[in-house]
Amino acid sequence: MIGLLADLFLLLGGLFLFLGALGLIRMPDVYNRIQAGTKAVTLGTLALLLGVGLHQPTWWPKLLVLAILILVTNPVGSSTLARAFLRSGIEPWKKGGQDG
Amino acid sequence: MIRFTTLWVLWMLLTGSLQWSELLTGTVIAALITGLSQRLVDSGSQSDLIFTPRSLLSLLRYLRVFALALIQANLDMARRVLSPSLPIDPAVVEVETTLQSTLGKLVLANSITLTPGTLTVDLQQNRLLVHWIDTAVLAGDQQGEAALQLATREIAAGFEQHLKGFLR
Amino acid sequence: MSREQRSLEWTPLLFSGGLAFLLFTLFIATMFGEPPMRAGAMIQQAGGVELGAANLVTAVVLGYRGLDTLGELAILFASATAVGLVLSTQNGESDKQASVFPDKIFLGEIFESASRLLMPLLLLLGFYIIIHGHLTPGGGFQGGVILAIALFLPALARSGEIPLNHATIRLVEGGAGTLFILIGLMALMQGESFLQPLLQPGEIGALFSAGSLPLLYLAVGLKVGAELAALLVHLSGESA
């Protein structure tokens, strides 16, 4: 039962990671791609960690540290990248602005 | 002292055992790093946190709001990515915060990044620059102060009211 | 002109052909799953019992091949010194051309406050990986890199802010190298060969086990960390 639940979380994590990758292809500009990437990767990885933790209950302390590090570093990396793009003069995509 | 305790707890989480050798080494390493980092990086983070019974309550409440927002953000993103018409209307807006400490602003910025349709781009004093994926709420014609107020209410206020409970 | 381009296009093909030939001969000469050397199997059998290291890679790196590790450290030291030398002479000739980064770089308040928060955590992680090198994957080299990154983060957030001054870094680096050699020499004084592991193997899996291997790895980690930190600081164009 617990094993099944763990597999479900692993699958869910993989699904979110896949959606994040799909977002990278579909979104029109770098800022929207970062948006799709950050959220999907963060929750996807957390779901993976949760699944692993359910499979291997003795690992949860290390997984907790991993989760904290991911929650702190992932958004910071995205923000810093986005800031660098804005600073270097890449205009955000506007709806109905240009084609494509 | 807060930093030492945090580091020591993290060490114990990493090792995941209660042998006396691990405890001893963890104490030595945590003390070493505390001394080192206090000398190296000046920080006011000691006073960033508020310690009262009520602050613990608002921490828990914040975590609940954050977890819900994170899941909602992913469902929202999945809907936008999967729908053929790609329903996005992005723009960069400004958001105001009343949080003072660097840690508080960092947590707020990270929370905004991980919640539905928003991405913190920059942070200057008490203004956050946010890339918002669906600005239909702004109705297009609101400018300046009104837009700032509305964006602040929509994006930041939900987190801020709980964050203020345990961060300055 | 066109001739030159044509000859250029041939080179990658020639290279891939050569590589394929090499891999093909290797594949024929050694059957899959049957290593040509016996040392691997012997070490797998003896390593745990003789040295008490749960991580066999560490047993090889420090126990059976300690002298090679000393050689690696020497190579790292030489290359770090060479880079420092090259960059410092460039600094003298053309004032600020040597800097990889622009003069004033600031990655934003978000990154800065995050780097302050993360630096102690990364230091802790680096030390954890170094000290548990004989138990879990990782060790002095990997942990040392993390230490260096932790020290470099504040300098990256706001160029010019270097957490440690150069003298301290040099002191740690030299001290760690000396520690490594001293442990090796202590084995000589006890009538063993250079860098022979000392002390009792202890119980496999405990933190204080595997004799002197953790001490050696601590020396390696501190040395690698100090060296890379000095290198990164050099690259950021500061002559602190």
**Is C230 part of any domain?**
yes
Chain centroid offset of residue B66 CA:
9
Q: Is residue C25 part of a domain?
A: no
Q: How many domains does chain C have?
A: 1
- Residue A59 exposed, middle or buried by CB count within 10 Å (0-12, 13-18, 19+): middle
Chains touching A by CB (3 or more pairs below 8 Å) = B, C
Q: Verify whether the Cβ–Cβ distance B106 to C128 is below 8 Å.
A: no
Does residue C11 lie in a domain region?
no
Residue A72 scores a pLDDT above 70: yes
Per-residue pLDDT, B168:
64
For the four alpha carbons of A13, A5, B110 and B136, in that order, the dihedral sign comes to positive
β-strands B118-124, B91-96 pairing: unpaired
Residue of B nearest to A57 (CA): B16
| Bridge partners of residue B129, in order along the sequence | B94, B122
In whole angstroms, give the CA distance from residue C115 to residue C124: 14
pLDDT, one tens digit per residue, over B94-111 is 777 777 777 777 888 888
pLDDT per residue of chain C (240 residues) written in tens, 0 to 9: 455 555 567 788 888 999 999 988 887 877 666 666 666 677 777 666 666 666 777 777 777 777 787 888 888 888 888 887 777 665 544 444 444 444 455 667 777 777 777 888 888 888 888 887 777 777 778 888 888 888 777 777 765 556 666 777 777 777 877 887 777 777 777 766 666 666 666 666 566 666 677 777 788 888 888 888 777 777 766 544
The candidate with the shortest Cα–Cα distance to C117, out of A82, B81, B101, is B101
pLDDT at C1: 46
pLDDT, residue A99, reads 41
Note whether C114 contacts A72, CB cutoff 8 Å. yes
Tell me which H or E stretch contains A32: helix A30-55
HEC letters along B102-158:
HHHHHHHHHHHHCCCCEEEEEEECCEEEEEECEHHHHCCCCCHHHHHHHHHHHHHHH
Q: Interface partners of C (3+ CB pairs, < 8 Å)?
A: A, B
Look at A72 and C110 and tell me if their CB atoms are within 8 Å: no
Predicted pLDDT at C217: 79
Phi, psi of C136 (to 5 degrees): -125, 165
Residue in C49, C69, C72, C71 with CA at minimum distance from that of residue C61: C69
Distances (CA, A) of B109 to A55, A77, B163, C108: 33, 12, 12, 12
pLDDT of A84 strictly over 70: yes
User: Percent of chain B, pLDDT > 70?
Assistant: 75
The residues with which C158 forms a beta bridge, in sequence order, are: C106
With 0-12 / 13-18 / 19 or more C-beta atoms within 10 angstroms meaning exposed / middle / buried, residue C130 is buried
Asked if B74's CB is within 8 angstroms of A22's CB, the reply is no
pLDDT of amino acid C95: 46
pLDDT at residue B72 is higher than 70: yes
Query: Among A63, A62, A61, A36, which residue's Cα sits nearest to residue A48?
Result: A63
Quick check: B9 and C191 in contact, CB under 8 A?
no
Domain that holds residue C107: 54-92+102-236
Chain C (139-158) residues lying within 8 Å, Cβ to Cβ, of chain B: 154
Which residues of chain C have a CB within 8 Å of the CB of B22?
A: 207
Question: Cβ B109–A34 below 8 Å, yes or no?
Answer: no
One-letter amino acid of C120: P
Helices (H), C30-139: 39-51, 56-58, 66-93, 109-131
Measured in angstroms, the CA of C107 and the nearest CA of chain A are apart by 7
Q: Which partners does chain B have (≥3 C-beta pairs < 8 Å)?
A: A, C
Query: Is the CB of residue B69 less than 8 Å away from at least one CB of chain C?
Result: no
DSSP annotation string for B59-109: HHHHHHHHHHHHHHHHHHHHHHHHSTT---B-EEEEEE----SHHHHHHHH
Q: What is the pLDDT of residues A9-67, one digit of tens each?
A: 889 888 888 888 888 887 777 888 888 888 888 888 888 988 888 888 888 888 888 88
pLDDT reported for residue C84: 76
Q: What is the pLDDT of residue C19?
A: 92
Asked whether residue C37 is domain-assigned, the answer is: no
Instruction: Compare all CA atoms of chain A with the CA of C117 and give the residue at the minimum distance.
Output: A72
Which tens digit of pLDDT belongs to each residue from B36-65? 776 655 555 455 666 677 777 888 888 888
- Here the ipTM equals 0.73
Q: Is C135 a domain residue?
A: yes
Whole-angstrom distance, CA of residue B126 vs CA of residue B108: 11
**Average confidence (pLDDT) over B66-73:** 83
The CA-CA-CA angle for residues C123, C124, C127, to 5°, reads 85
The amino acid at A57:
P
CA–CA distance, B57 with C141 (Å, rounded to integer):
43
B contact test, residue of C106, C110, C111, C122 with most B CBs within 10 A: C110
Q: Is the pLDDT of residue B80 over 70?
A: yes
| Mean pLDDT of the region B123-141 | 70
Chain A 40-99, CB below 8 Å of chain C: which residues? 69, 72-73, 76, 79-80, 83-84
Alpha-carbon distances of C227 from A9, B96, C75, C236, rounded to whole Å: 42, 43, 11, 14
